[in-house]
Amino acid sequence: MNSRELILKKVRQNKPDLLPLPILEAYPQGDIDLTDKFGTFLKNVGGDIYLAKDVQEARAHLTQKFQLSESIKVADYTDTNLLKQDPHSFEDVFVTIMRGQWGVAENAAIWIPEEYLPGKQRVLPFICQHLVIYLPSDALVPTMYEAYQKIGTQNFGGYGVFIAGPSKTADIEQSLVIGAHGPRSLTVYLIEKQQL
């Protein structure tokens, strides 16, 4: 028996018995305004939030905000052609528009499953200049604990990500830089009517 086999044998001999996972209690948040708390944390992490009655109102607002025109490249979740494109072709995307499934009030993180990414292109939320997320106003939960309970074991395509705020870093002299590695801004539209 060589040393590797000896070590593995001792590890197996000293392996603890399997125990059931602990049952965690929910963290009561009291009577809080989820929209207000989510908006406050989103602004604290560098994002913007707007309330819109529907997607059309949100689209009209963001068109004006980013001065969108035919010459500006936009990756929209409604564009089914994105699925077939080479991810390298997105290097000049100015605005990415996508949906969010759950928003977490305690830290303004937004859960994005793979199917909500435009064309299921994982690079788009991180390579664009400006990121826009439509989130149903009734999809806010108080804590990450409750978000993970919602996500649970659902099939989300094998990939999902929480996004909170635009890209930022303070690595150099603790000077905060927004948009250092990814989007320079994050704009969230809370959509009153779930039409996403």
Q: Which of 90, 113, 44, 89 is nearest to 182 (CA)?
A: 90
Q: State pLDDT tens for residues 25-84.
A: 777 777 889 999 999 999 999 999 999 999 999 999 999 999 988 889 999 999 989 988
Confidence band of 176 (pLDDT split at 50, 70, 90): confident
Please give the Cα distance from 158 to 152 (Å, whole number): 13
pLDDT value of position 64: 94
Q: Do the beta carbons of residue 142 and residue 106 sit within 8 Å?
A: yes
pTM to 2 decimals? Answer: 0.84
Confidence band of 1 (pLDDT split at 50, 70, 90): confident
pLDDT value of position 155: 78
Q: Which three-class secondary structure state does DSSP give residue 163?
A: strand
